[in-house]
Each structure stands twice: as structure tokens, then as C-alpha cells.
Amino acid sequence: MSFDHRKYSPFVTVDKPDRKWPSRRIEQAPLWAAVDLRDGNQALIKPMSVAQKKRFFKLLVEVGFKEIEVGFPSGSQIDFDFCRALIEEDLVPDDVHIQVLTQSRHELIERTFEAVRGAKNAIVHIYNATSPTFRDQVFNVDKEGCKAIAVQAATWVRDMAARQPETHWSFEYSPETFSATETDFAVEVIDAVNEVWRPDQGQRVIINLPATVEVSTPNVFADQVEIVHENIRYREHVLISVHTHNDRGCGVAAAELSMMAGADRVEGTLLGNGERTGNMDLVTCGMNLYTHGVDPGIDFSRMKEIVQVVEEITDIPTHPRHPYAGDLVFTAFSGSHQDAIRKCLGLYKPGDIWRVAYLPIDPADLGRRYEEVVRINSQSGKGGVTHVLERDYGISLPRWLQQEMAKLVQSDAEEDGGEIDSRRVHQRFNSDYLEVPNGWTLRSYDLHRGEEGVQAQISIGDERSPVTVLSGRGEGAVGALVEALNRRQGWQLQVEAFDEYSLGDNTEANAMACVRVQVGGHTQSAVALAADTTAAALQAILSAAGRMAEAQARKSA
């Protein structure tokens, strides 16, 4: 059998019973570093051109990133040229640090310094992998040899930086594969690097802890980060950064738990493009903070533009269910969700704390429209149908009619197998309830109230049929009309449900009436709009009666 779990074993085991991070909360945003132009770029089928990098860089700056890894300039001419363009064309704002990655090799570090010559602020980022797999199989070094690579590179970086004093330098070291490295050994290597860089003497130092490959549950990674946080020398002078990947689907969770465990800085990419399953997604991580009332410091209200630029440059579509950014993440199709959303949105007022069922965030904050929140298919119920009629047409229906209409719309949706848009819901409403059957239009009415109730004379008809006058008596106008109809048609019509509303001033009609009548066990509903409530009520009864008469005629034909 080839599918055999015994082939695998846990990569790292960490035992830290005194862990403190589980009871901490994230109360402020970390320092973000966007690595789209390097880690994201190195994972693309077609790496970015200089022009594309410029466009992406501009977006990152505009939305608020202050540390941006712009490339691996010793690795490709495009990345080198892009660094030169940023500097020579003065494209980097004074408060933004550009970051460049290099292997810990002399000639590559040299070329990297050449690439950023003249920058105002630059972060030189060196790495070497420290895990047993790499020591044993890739570099063929023991622990001392591994540490020596890092120390040697740190020394080259320190010395080369000293020769370019016009730049304000930050140094970053990543024990690549940190998540699969014995944590005490990672601490040893970090200490050795810091002994060269001496953050305690004023050098800005970032120690970046990568889950180069995510190999454990995020709590294990948080334990590893907390061990580094508690044990490295010069901790108070060092920025601890995390750089998580998403191999097990927990890249964001690992970054979040790391912040609780002491990380000050988080590296990631917009929408999570990156090696294999991607880098930690800055959009999700930042927006998670926002929904807890913490300012992420990044302007995610430009989400549409972020998605558009990232998609265009990476040529990778955004999943419709991508947290916060996907096309469908603010849409509810299912009935009970729609009902709860409609009720909560109805109560929400600007300035309130957001408490809307099923919507962890106000779609409007991300430039999304309420129109997309409720969409109708066969999973929808009365709440959804009611919501779209109210939202798009200003029509509010009584509960009994909501239930009736929802059944009609659901059967349409089941027949079609797809979505029913709000125009079609409205058409259904018009054709099944509002349209007046031929010959049943109310032309005029004359009501006299006397001791025996109301005496009504009601003229009906339209251009296609002669005018008929119906006379009846009842307790009110509706009762009088019912009596007249029963006499004319030989029915025992009963009004089962009746609701009428005055409409807002900006509508053509001032009143709406909804009725359901019953004749011989058959029911028929109708809605009418008219200039006044009496006319609306009479027309609604006439429309229901007309439909009933048409149905009877069809049956006997």
C-alpha cells in the first residue's frame, strides 16, 4: 500500500509547560513587512517585470506598509534593476524601508549591497537553513558548521554596511526552517549572529523566525517563538519577526499565536501568494485584528484595488471564499442566515458596535455593497425574498404573503437549479400578485354609510372590457364588495388575510393592500397599489376575485 502514514513522524517536539501566550490577547498591530515582491514573486510561474514590481510597490506603499521586501537582487537582473530604479527614481518614501534578501554567500551579499547603494533606509536580510534535514542533507555540516555560516555572513553584512554609511541600515537574520529546527539550537545561532551585530549598541536588528514549511500545529510554533522570545540575548534591543507559510492551512493562525508569544513583526503577502500553499496572508491577518477593534494600520478599505492589482500581477485568481476578499464572502444564500442578517441590519445604526449575525464585518468597510449580502437560490427562505423586495423595490410584505411568495420563488429556484436575481423575484411579485386580471380594474366606487352598514356601487372594467357595476352591502367597503361578488359569481368568498399599508411620500401610490381570499377551499392572494387605502383594498379583493374566476374558467374549459 503506497498511502502509509508510518512513513512520517513529527518534525519537532517542543515541551514548554510554562507557556504564557495562551492567556495573552493581541491588542495592537505588529510591524508588518510585505514580502510579495520577493517570496511571492519567487513562487510565480511568470516572475514580475520591473514595471509590475513598481505597480505592486506603489500599492503596498499607498495602503501603508513601511517595510517592503523588494527582491533578491543578487539572484536576478530584474530584481537588481528594480532596486536601482526605486533608488534612482526616488520612489521610496522617507519612512519606508526597502528589504533585500540574500543567501549567506560573500559574492551574493556584495551584489546585494551594490543593489541598494544610496538607499535612505534598507534592510539587508540574510538566511541559512538550520534544521537537521538541511544540515545533514543539503549543506552537509554539523551544528557548528551551520552556525559558522550565519556568523560569517553576519560579519560580511556588518562590514559591508559600514562601507556605505549614507544608508540607515537594519540587519535581518532568518534561521531558515526555524519551525523544523531544535529551538535551543536556533537560540544558539541567533545569539551568535547578535554577538556580531550587537543590537545593544544601537544596530537595528530583526530576527525573523520562519515556518519555511509549516510542519506543526500553530500552538507548537507559538511555543517555539516564546522560547526564542524568552531566551535570546539582547531581547529588548531586537525585533522578533515571524514569517509563516501555509502548508497545513494555519499560516495566519501561527502568526497570530506568535504575536501572543512575543513577536513584534509579521512578514506575509497580500492574499497569501507564495511558495507551495503560500505565505501568511496579510489581508486575513490584518482584517482579523480590525474585526476585534484593533487598527491594523493598513488601509484595507481599498480591498477591491488590492485584489485587482494582486490578481493582475500574479495571474492568480482570488478564491471566491477567500477571507474578507472573495466575491462570495459577504453573501448568504441560506434562509435562516438571510432572516437573521435582515433582522440585525434592520436594527443597526451607524455609530453602533457592529453586531450583525453571520457578518463578522460590515461589508461597506471594504467597499462592498449590501446588495450582495442576500442572494436567492433554492436554499433561501422568506427572509431572503423579503429582504430583496424591501431593499431593491421598497416593498414590505405581511408575514403570510412572505411565506407564500418564498414558496413560489423556491420552486422557481429548484426548477432552474441556480440563482434567482432580485429582478426575477420582483417580476414574480408583479405577475402573481400585482397585475390586475382583464376586466377587473377598479374604475370608480361610491360608498354610503347608513344604519345598515355600507352600501357600495363599484364600477370595474378596462379598455378591453365593458364597465360592470357591482352593488353590495356590508359592514365596510370590503364587506360590501364581497357581498356583491358573491351574488354575481355565486360564491361564498371569504377573506382569510388582509393587510394594508400607507406608503412613503416618494412613491406613486399612497397605499398598498394585500389580501388572501378563499372560495370553496381554493385560495387566491393579490396585492394592489392605489391612491388611497380604500381603493387599494377594493382593488386587491377584485384582483384576487378575478384570478379566482380565471382559474375556475380554466378548470371548466
Ligand X SMILES: CC(=O)SCCNC(=O)CCNC(=O)[C@H](O)C(C)(C)COP(=O)(O)OP(=O)(O)OC[C@H]1O[C@@H](n2cnc3c(N)ncnc32)[C@H](O)[C@@H]1OP(=O)(O)O
Binding site for ligand KIV (CB under 6 A): 39, 101, 127, 174, 176, 208, 210, 212, 243, 245
Of 215 and 541, the one with the shorter C-beta distance to ligand KIV is 215
- All residues at 6 or more sequence positions from 244 whose CB lies less than 8 Å from its CB, including other chains: 210, 211, 214, 221, 250, 251, 252, 254, 255, 258, 268, 279, 280
State the Cα–Cα distance between residues 27 and 23, nearest whole angstrom.
13
HSE of 12 in the Cβ direction (CA atoms, 13 Å)?
Answer: 30
d(CA 80, CA 471): 92
Q: Is 214 in the site for Mg ion (CB under 5 A)?
A: no
Closer to ligand X by CB, 49 or 468: give it: 49
**Among residues 200, 205, 81, 201, which one has the least CA distance to residue 154?**
205
How far, in Å, CA of 472 to CA of 466, rounded? 19
- Nearest distance, CB of residue 78 and ligand KIV, angstroms: 18
Q: Considering the rule CB under 6 A, would residue 66 count as an interface residue with ligand X?
A: no
Q: Locate the DSSP E strands across 190-261.
A: 204-211, 238-244
Q: What is the spatial distance between Cα 374 and Cα 386, in angstroms, rounded to a whole number?
A: 10
* Residue whose C-alpha is closest to residue 205's, from 155, 236, 239, 232: 239
Q: Report the nearest approach of ligand KIV to the CB of residue 210 (Å).
A: 3
The answer to whether residues 115 and 83 touch, using CB atoms and an 8 Å cutoff, is yes
Q: Which is nearer to ligand KIV, 176 or 500 (CB)?
A: 176
Exposed, middle or buried by CB within 10 Å (0-12, 13-18, 19+), for 316?
A: middle
Distances (CA, A) of 11 to 4, 183, 214, 253: 17, 12, 10, 19
- Closer to ligand X by CB, 72 or 169: give it: 72
Q: Are 157 and 213 in contact (CB under 8 A)?
A: no
Listing DSSP states for 482-516 in one string gives: HHHHHHHHT---EEEEEEEEEPPTTSS-SEEEEEE
Binding residues: 39, 243, 245, 279
- Cβ nearer to ligand X, comparing 138 with 531: 138
CB of 190 to ligand KIV, least distance (A): 14
Give whichever of 100 and 530 is closer to ligand X, judged by the CB atom. Answer: 100
Min separation Cβ 210 and ligand X, Å = 7
Residues 158, 395: Cα–Cα separation, whole Å = 71
Q: For ligand X, which residue of 57, 72, 82, 445 counts as binding (CB under 6 A)?
A: 72
Q: Which is nearer to ligand X, 42 or 552 (CB)?
A: 42
Site for ligand X in 32-51 (CB under 6 A): 39, 42
Instruction: Enter the DSSP assignment of 530.
Output: E
Q: Which residue in the shown chain puts its C-beta closest to ligand X?
A: 75
Instruction: Identify which of residues 280 and 401 has a Cβ nearer to ligand KIV in the complex.
Output: 280
117 dihedral zone (left: phi>0; alpha: psi -120 to 50; beta): beta
For residue 411, the minimal CB distance to ligand X (Å) is: 55
Does position 284 interact with ligand X (CB under 6 A)? The reply is no
Q: Provide the residue count of the chain.
A: 557
Site size toward ligand X, by CB under 6 A:
17
| 69 near Mg ion, judged by CB under 5 A | no
d(CA 531, CA 222): 68
In the complex, minimum distance from the CB of residue 117 to Mg ion, in angstroms, rounded to a whole number: 26
In the complex, the smallest distance separating the C-beta of residue 395 from ligand KIV, rounded to whole angstroms, is 55
Contact map string, positions 94 to 133, toward ligand X, x by CB under 6 A: ---------xxx--x------------------xx-----
Task: Tell me the number of residues near Mg ion by CB under 5 A.
Answer: 1
Q: Which stretch binds ligand X (CB under 6 A): 73-81, 438-446, 489-497, 519-527?
A: 73-81
Residue list, annotated binding site for Mg(2+): 39, 243, 245, 279
**Residue 232 C-beta: closest distance to Mg ion, Å:** 21
208 binds, among Mg ion, ligand X, ligand KIV, none (CB under 5 to 8 A by kind): ligand KIV
Rounded distance between C-alpha atoms, residue 211 and residue 177, angstroms? 6
Binding status of residue 139 toward ligand X by CB under 6 A: yes
Among positions 47, 64, 75, 297, the unique one binding ligand X when judged by CB under 6 A: 75
Question: How many Cβ atoms sit within 10 Å of the Cβ of residue 30?
Answer: 24
Interaction mask 36-65, Mg ion, x per CB under 5 A: ---x--------------------------
Question: Which parts of this chain interact with Mg ion (CB under 5 A)?
Answer: 39
Question: Which parts of this chain interact with ligand X (CB under 6 A)?
Answer: 39, 42, 72, 74-76, 103-105, 108, 127-128, 138-139, 149, 176, 212
